Amino acid sequence: MPELPEVETTRRGLEPHAHGQRITAFRVYERRLRWPVAAGLPRTLAGQRIVATGRRAKYLLLSLESGTLIVHLGMSGNLRVLPADAPRILHDHFDLVLDSGVALRFNDPRRFGSLHFTRGDPQRHRLLAHLAPEPFDSQFDGDYLWRITRRRRVAVKQLLMNSRLVVGVGNIYASEALFRARIRPQRPARSLSRADCARLVRAVRAVLGQAIRAGGTTLRDYLKADGSPGYFRQRLYVYERAARPCRRCGTAVRAITQGQRSSYYCPACQQ
Ligand SMILES: [Zn+2]
C-alpha cells in the first residue's frame, strides 16, 4: 500500500513534468473509484494550468488556476507520467493530458483511490480539514508526543499508527522508527519518558526522510511506461526480519501481532 514516502516520492517524480503545464484534456475511463469522479470534471479542468504540486498526509495536491485537484492513491494506485498516446493497460482509470504531450495516468486495480476538485482552500476540504499533524511539521515534536501519550495505555506502535494523532506513519515505518529509538513496540504509550518521546520523533522523521530519499532514487526511471510504481527500497532493520539476526547486535528479531498487524523488534536493542 502506498504510504507517505511513496506519495511524496510520486509528487517529486511528477513535479518536473506537471509544474507550469496546461491540462489539454481530462479523460475518464472509469468513474467508479472510492467516490465517483464528478461528471463535470473534464469541462472544469480543460485549459487550466498546474501551478504547483503538494501533499497533505497521503493526498497529492495539484494546484490549478481555479482550484485544487486532490488525489488519493488508495490501497493499490499509482500516478505515472507517460506519453499521452501510450496504450492503456488494465485498471487505467483516468488521464490528465498536458500540453507537453505527456499524460498523468492513474492506475488502481482495487479502486480505493479517489479524485476530487475543490475551488476553495484545499486544507479546509472535508477530506483534509481534520487531519492530524504531519511528521515533519514543527507541531509534531517531543512535547506533542509526550502530551498525547500521557493518558494512553495503548501500545506505542499503535499510537504512532493512529492517523488522528499523527498522519503517515504506517506499519513498516512504525516498526523501523521504534527500532531506531530503542523502544519496544508493545510498551504502553504512557510509559514513555520525555527523552523517549524526543528520540522517537527524531526516529520517525529519520526513517521517513530516508525512505523518501531512497524513493527519489528509484524514480529516475519515472518516464518508463512499464507501470513500475517506483516504490522505495531501503535497508530495513527489523521489518519482516523475524528470527534473523538484528543488524545492530545479532540477536534474533522477534515478531508479534498488534491490532492484526505484524510488529518486529530486537529484544536486546529495544526496551
Ligand atoms: Zn539488536
Residue 58 a catalytic site member: yes
Residue 218 has pLDDT above 70, yes or no: no
- The H or E element spanning position 96 is strand 92-98
Which one is catalytic: 56, 58, 180, 184?
58
- Ligand 1 centre to CA of 244 (Å) is 11
3 or 245: which leads in pLDDT:
245
- Ligand 1 centre to CA of 217 (Å) is 28
Residue 157 a catalytic site member: no
Which one is catalytic: 3, 6, 8, 176?
3
Residue 261 a catalytic site member: yes
- pLDDT tens digits for range 167-197: 999 898 999 999 999 999 999 999 999 999 9
User: Residue 224 has what pLDDT?
Assistant: 34
- pLDDT tens digits for range 57-84: 999 999 999 999 999 998 888 899 999 9
Separation in Å, CA 205 to CA 29, 75, 135, 173? 38, 23, 6, 10
Residue 49 a catalytic site member: no
Convert 82-106 to b/e letters by CB count within 10 Å (16 or more is b).
bebeeeeeebbbbbbbbeeebbbbb
Q: How far, in Å, CA of 193 to CA of 219, rounded?
A: 39
Cα angle 164-261-214, degrees, rounded to a multiple of 5: 75
Task: List CB contacts of 131: < 8 A, sequence separation 6 or more.
Answer: 56, 57, 163, 167
- pLDDT tens digits for range 90-109: 999 999 999 999 999 999 99
